[in-house]
Amino acid sequence: MKLQVQRTYNFNAGPSALPLSVLEKAQAELIDFRGTGMSVMELSHRSRPYEEVHNQAISSLKELLAIPNTHEVLFLQGGASLQFSMIPMNFLQPGKKASYVMTGSWSEKAFSEAKLFGEVYHAASTKEGNYRSIPTINELQYDKEDAYVHLTSNNTIYGTQWKDFPDTGDVPLIADMSSDILSKPIDVSKFALIYAGAQKNLGPSGVTVVIIRKDFLESANTNIPTMLKYSTHAKNNSLYNTPPTFGIYMLGEVLNWARDLGGLEAIAKRNEEKANLIYSVIDGSNGFYIGHADQDSRSLMNLTFNLKTPELEKKFLDQAKQAGFVGVNGHRSIGGCRVSAYNAVPVEACQAFSEFMTQFQKDNN
């Protein structure tokens, strides 16, 4: 018997919406995974059925993102936040510097962690403009000798997103793609390392995806704890210790869903359509809604805006909540409003919210 479910309009910033069909499949397979008589959570991570799940997830990710053979996929734990420390630990060699492009709170966190391990500096920063924009590629100032350049591809809190990435030549380019990985096609070959916590676009929290270039991996520092070395996980196909098996299973199912939607070109188009439903209301509101990000830096994943007064903003957020829209409050550090329209958020949710915004303006103008 299939229960009638009430699914809410979920605009949470992370953990966030998952595709309903993936949740339903997980539910159907929950207590007897493909004839094993066990849940996927109860399988040994050394067993054949689990290995298939694990390897399938890796190959699906390679296929969807068109990851070249020069790169490896790793499944780690500790979130994107542990990557903030693992990266400098592994790749900030003694005597070298690393540069960071500062575009928001997550870049700041990555930068402060790296400072603990060596010399770091800003390749550019848009902090003075309250992180409304992404610097142009020409504005980046890094050195050919840098250990690496680090950037945050989508700024989850401020709602800005890189549209093109710099070509850094021999300087390894590293990107935190936690909140826009899988949202559009990217050229993986430009990057020495890409990392992302899964809980925005890839699956449930608990898995961190790392895509790393093999020759970069070989250049890593060696005198660091085993679990914090990328090479440990690369040598062991991310099975050095017990991986987050259920999370990896879910990630694999999300990837199948993304493939069935038509892959990343189709997903990118759908994300544009979703974001436009809301940005067009902001742009046509005569200043009733005020977008935070500059137009050319706007994120298709996290749409941030304010209303004219704190009172009106509170009324808007209260009514949005009453109308069944979840997660529209801005991040606790900056306030305002934020709609997170990740891959799994359906077009209808954005349509319904854009209608709500239009109606609210009519009622309060």
Q: Which is nearer to ligand PLP, 175 or 357 (CB)?
A: 175
Give residues with Cβ within 8 angstroms of 48, minimum separation 6: none
The binder of ligand PLP chosen from 197, 243, 244, 330 (CB under 6 A): 197
Give CA–CA dist 305/158, Å, rounded: 9
The binder of ligand PLP chosen from 10, 16, 133, 152 (CB under 6 A): 152
Does 207 engage in binding with ligand PLP (CB under 6 A)? no
Q: How many of the chain's residues bind ligand PLP (CB under 6 A)?
A: 12
- The helix/strand/coil state of 362 is helix
- Going through 170-301 in order, the beta strands assigned E by DSSP cover 173-176, 193-197, 208-213, 289-291
Q: Which is nearer to ligand PLP, 43 or 177 (CB)?
A: 177
Does 176 engage in binding with ligand PLP (CB under 6 A)? yes
Residues designated as active site: 106, 176, 200
Structure tokens at 101: 């492009």
The response to whether 295 counts as a known ligand-binding position is no
CB of residue 266 to ligand PLP, shortest distance in Å? 23
Instruction: Indicate the DSSP class of residue 169.
Output: T
Does 113 engage in binding with ligand PLP (CB under 6 A)? no
Q: Which is nearer to ligand PLP, 79 or 166 (CB)?
A: 79
Cβ–Cβ < 8 Å for 11, 326: yes
**Residue found under tokens 């550090």:** 333
The binder of ligand PLP chosen from 21, 36, 39, 81 (CB under 6 A): 81
Give residues with Cβ within 8 angstroms of 47, minimum separation 6: none
Cβ–Cβ < 8 Å for 275, 303: yes
Stretch that binds ligand PLP, among 117-125, 161-169, 174-182, 331-339 (CB under 6 A): 174-182
The response to whether 81 counts as a known ligand-binding position is yes
Longest pairwise C-alpha distance within the chain: 65
Does 156 engage in binding with ligand PLP (CB under 6 A)? yes
- The helix/strand/coil state of 353 is helix
Among the listed residues 149, 179, 204, 192, the one whose alpha carbon sits nearest the alpha carbon of residue 331: 179
CB of residue 207 to ligand PLP, shortest distance in Å? 9
How many CB atoms within 10 Å of residue 347? 13
How many CB atoms within 10 Å of residue 280? 13
Does 336 engage in binding with ligand PLP (CB under 6 A)? no
The response to whether 147 counts as a known ligand-binding position is no
Structure tokens at 326: 């979840």
Contact pattern from residue 1 through residue 20 relative to ligand PLP, giving x for each residue in contact according to CB under 6 A and a dash for the rest = -------------x------
Does 79 engage in binding with ligand PLP (CB under 6 A)? yes
Give CA–CA dist 83/77, Å, rounded: 9
The response to whether 358 counts as a known ligand-binding position is no
Q: Which is nearer to ligand PLP, 90 or 156 (CB)?
A: 156
The response to whether 12 counts as a known ligand-binding position is no
Q: How many CA atoms lie less than 13 Å away from 309 in the CB half-sphere? A: 5
The response to whether 80 counts as a known ligand-binding position is yes
Does 342 engage in binding with ligand PLP (CB under 6 A)? no
Torsion sign across C-alpha atoms 66, 55, 76, 342? positive
The binder of ligand PLP chosen from 53, 61, 67, 80 (CB under 6 A): 80
The response to whether 103 counts as a known ligand-binding position is no
- Residues of this chain that bind ligand PLP (CB under 6 A): 14, 79-81, 106, 152, 156, 176, 178-179, 197, 200
- State the binding site for L-glutamate: 46
- State the binding site for pyridoxal 5'-phosphate: 80-81, 106, 156, 176, 199, 241-242
